Amino acid sequence: MKKKWIAVITAVCMISLFGCLHYLHEMQEEKYTVITSVNGVEFDVPKNYLTQATAITGISDDEDYGTYTYVYSDGKSTYLLFDMDQIIMIVDNQTDYGLQNSTNIGETITEKPIDGVWFNLEDKADQYDMKIKNDAYRLIHTVRSDVSVTENQGGTFVGKFANVSVSGVECSMFVGARGECYSELDFDTKRMLEHIAKSLNITDHTALSNVDINTDLPVSGRKGKLDIADNQGEIGNKYSDIYHLLAVGMTGTYLAYDKNSEFSLSSGEITVEQLYTGEDAIDIIKAYCNSGKSMRKYMEAPEGFSWHVIKYSLSQSQKDLYTNIKIEGLDGNRLVYHGVSCTSRTYDIIYDWNKKNDLYCYYAVPNGCKEYMLECGNRYKSTSETACYRINIVNSE
């Protein structure tokens, strides 16, 4: 009888233990978002950084990147997330380290950068974990890097270099925290860096087999600034998406929900003609609110925000095909500026719903925000179905 009770207690303890481990694993997964914007690759990014990150289309020496979190992707080969006070993470599927054939892994890592980021070993001894299974190779190495975002902004980061290869193609990552020595980082930070490095995975090696490997590297020097290109492609035939953003004055095509259409969606065209800010925007909003056409009374913009107004024209009236317009970040997600999250909602200024021109809408923008995206139409699967405009305050005022 005593043995039976011991067996039952042992079973209960084992079930509880496995339950706790499963719960801890679920909690760990909930802290991360899986990113798939690099072709053929996936990896985890901490949600707490993503929700605070301002999306950018490139790096400018004229911008101040201190204090806040920024995120960049070119939708093909490169992903970058950084906060110069805390973390940097860069992923590239065009690297060519060939570590599985290296006789000195540490030296090979220090001979090539990832998008301008060079590496040093913390000490003379290699500190790495390596796994080889069939044609799959994975290596994670502790490294140190002096990272410069611009000529005047940079810092030292310590963390993990990860390299994964399958069937002769590879992808590499560096994820590091601000500091001088990896061993001096706190437990939670090291656990986070190790989790991210281990999450790097090639999901489709055929997608990497056709990429152009970057072999045009400096022959000397181990310092330099981040080398990423503007992620905007050439615009043609009124098509747009987050990597082909339209400018004010251009015409874009989009899909919108049509109650009279058999297929629910119909196509239309929109031209964003002008942007109004400051007192000009306020005057337009007040005039409409006082005209008797508006269902709303004029209200000041929320604290820390300012009103912006756009003027636009359509190929069909808003009565025939209602065109929804949303304000978003340059990555097509919720607009975040210096940690301040913005609602995507805009408000119509329409005096005659049968007209196709002289149409307006207004929305709140965080003070200091210089650029954002307006998405026009209804996105079903991707921003390729909508008209996406890059609103640049500097060039538009």
The answer to whether residues 388 and 266 belong to one domain is yes
Domain span holding position 144 = 32-208
Q: DSSP letter string over 122-139?
A: SSSS--EEEEEETTEEEE
How does residue 124 score in pLDDT terms, banded at 50, 70 and 90?
low
In a shared domain, residues 204 and 258: no
Domain contains 224 = no
Phi, psi (deg, nearest 5) at residue 48? -65, -25
214 band by pLDDT with thresholds 50, 70 and 90: low
Give CA–CA dist 24/288, Å, rounded.
54
Mean pLDDT of 197-221: 71
338 inside domain: yes
Give the mean pLDDT of 25-48. 85
The whole-number pLDDT of residue 236 equals 85
Give the per-residue pLDDT at 219.
42
Per-residue confidence at 134, pLDDT binned at 50, 70, 90?
confident
- Among residues 170, 189, 70, the alpha carbon closest in space to that of 114 is found at 170
Which pLDDT band, with edges at 50, 70 and 90, does 148 fall under? Answer: very high
We report the CATH number of the domain holding residue 84 as: 3.40.1000
360: in domain: yes
In this prediction, residue 335 carries a pLDDT of: 98
* C-alpha to C-alpha distance for 113 and 223, rounded to whole angstroms: 9
Q: Is residue 82 part of a domain?
A: yes
Domain for residue 300, yes or no? yes
pLDDT at 67 over 90: no
Please indicate, yes or no, whether residues 165 and 289 belong to a single structural domain of this protein.
Answer: no
Same domain flag for 46 and 165: yes
Q: Are residues 281 and 166 located together in one domain of the fold?
A: no
Residue 232 lies in a domain: no
Model pLDDT for residues 226-267, shown as the tens digit of each residue: 999 999 999 988 999 999 999 999 999 999 988 777 668 899
Q: Where among 208, 243, 267 does a domain terminate?
A: 208
Cα 366 from chain centroid? Answer: 19
User: Is 343 a domain residue?
Assistant: yes
- Rounded to an integer, the average pLDDT of 299-309 is 97
- Among 176, 192, 208, residue at a domain's last position: 208
Do 169 and 285 lie in one domain? The reply is: no
The 10s digit of each residue's pLDDT in 311-348 is 999 999 999 999 999 999 999 999 999 999 999 999 99
Identify the three-state secondary structure at position 163. strand
Question: Which of 59-73, 81-95, 185-199, 214-228 is the least confident region?
Answer: 214-228
Judgement on whether residues 47 and 192 belong to the same structural domain of the protein: yes
Mean of all residue pLDDT scores within the chain: 88
Co-location of 203 and 257 in the same domain: no
Q: What is the CA angle 86-90-91, rounded to 5?
A: 150
Statement to judge: residues 371 and 298 lie in one domain:
yes
Considering the domain architecture, whether residues 38 and 167 belong to the same structural domain is answered as: yes
DSSP string of 38-51, one letter each residue: STTEEEEEEHHHHT
| Predicted pLDDT of residue 215 | 52
> In this structure, are 312 and 200 located in the same domain?
no
Q: What is the pTM of this model?
A: 0.86
**What's the number of domains the chain is made of?**
2
Does residue 78 sit in the same domain as residue 198? Answer: yes
Which pLDDT tens digit goes with each residue over 276-294?
999 999 999 999 999 999 9
Given 182, 208, 234, the domain boundary residue is 208
238 within domain boundaries? no
